[in-house]
Homo-oligomer: A and B are copies of this chain.
Amino acid sequence: MTDDLGRAAMEGSGFYNRHSALQAAGVAALADIWARACDAVPVGEGVVRIVDLASSQGRNSMAPMRIAIDTIRRRTGPARPIEIIHTDLPSNDFSSLFDAVFADDSSYLRNASAIFPLAIGRSYFEPLLPPDSVHLAWNTWSMQWMARNVINASDHVLAGMSKSEEVLSAVATQQQEDWAQFLSLRSAELVHGGRLLTAFTARTDIETGWEWLLGELWEAICDLVGQGLLSREEATRMTIPIGLRQLRDLAAPFNDTGAYAGLKIEHLELKQTANPHWNDFLKTGDKDEFARRHAEATRAWAGPTLALALTSHHDPQVSLDAIFARHAERLARDPKQHEPYMVVGVFVKDK
């Protein structure tokens, strides 16, 4: 599984579910675009199949799946079976996912009929489902991760924020390949007229939007190296295999003919995401709480990857505690409004 070298699973036992408010805010901004895709897709006569790619533990899937169900139900009536297929890496916490889907009050199953949830524990850089079987595919906050960690950066925690030309070139090459692979595989799975919505953090031509939050994380790691709590080698291995693409990188495969692998671009836009923690901070002025929330949210998605860089004589939990305590201290010094950019793409299967 090449992906095991890239994106690690999110923190398990519901931790990621409880610390993904920022991702949830990003998802909310997609509601209208997603509803239009759900309304436009041909639903045929049989089972309607919706795929939720990189579902994590399911919390952020509830609202978009509910939108899809409601939109399709208005067109098909209550009896048409709908399959909802959640996918993530094999190491994902699928028990939390199934608990959320089948037992939580917030589940899209509440007051819905003939809905059948399933899961696949496999990288989406591999085939997941039979050809021509998927009506709608939803994917958020994951395609910034590379399929594998191609190179370590010795000057930043994020591969794509290194200043090294060698690192940036390796990241750009891998991300081109990942994007082409992802589009090709999903296109094969979509029915004619099927839609793929994918949204993930991206950048403008002048900034990534992550300078403050992840710059301080890198400085926190360097502080621990200075204190002898981490080695320089561990810090270098702490390279999160993420790059931030620009809109033109994502449009590139479509430039020659207006289509790629049977897909056409229906919507492609860069948005700035709202930050729920900032408004709370403006009300309370509580720098420490603001910083703590950002550090915890960062740990939820980055912690498992950083832990992989530790040598065996470090207890991962102790080291992560130290890194993110230091991260929070640094963030509290001068709180800033962290509003990363998110690209939203909708692609339609055109052949």
Contacts and interface: CB of A to CB of B under 8 A. Distances in A.
Interface of A: 1, 47, 81, 83, 85, 90-92, 94-95, 97-99, 102-103, 114, 116-122, 127-131, 133
10 contacts: A81-B130, A90-B103, A94-B119, A95-B121, A97-B121, A98-B122, A99-B121, A102-B122, A116-B127, A117-B120
Most buried by B among A95, A99, A117, A127: A95
A78 to B, nearest CB: 14
Contacts of A114: 130
A119 B116 contact: no
A128 B83 CA distance: 10
A94 B99 CA distance: 13
Contacts of A92: 95
Q: Which of A81, A90, A97, A133 has the most CB of B within 10 A?
A: A90
A79 to B, nearest CB: 9
Contacts of A81: 130-131, 133
A194 to B, nearest CB: 16
B130 A102 contact: no
Contacts of A122: 98, 102, 117
Nearest to A94: B94
A118 B98 CA distance: 13
A90 B95 contact: yes
B116 A128 contact: yes
B117 A118 contact: no
B47 A102 contact: no
List the 8 shortest-distance A-B pairs measured between CB atoms, nearest first: A98-B121, A81-B130, A94-B94, A90-B98, A118-B118, A119-B119, A47-B130, A90-B99
A230 to B, nearest CB: 28
A117 B99 CA distance: 20
A116 B129 contact: yes
A35 to B, nearest CB: 24
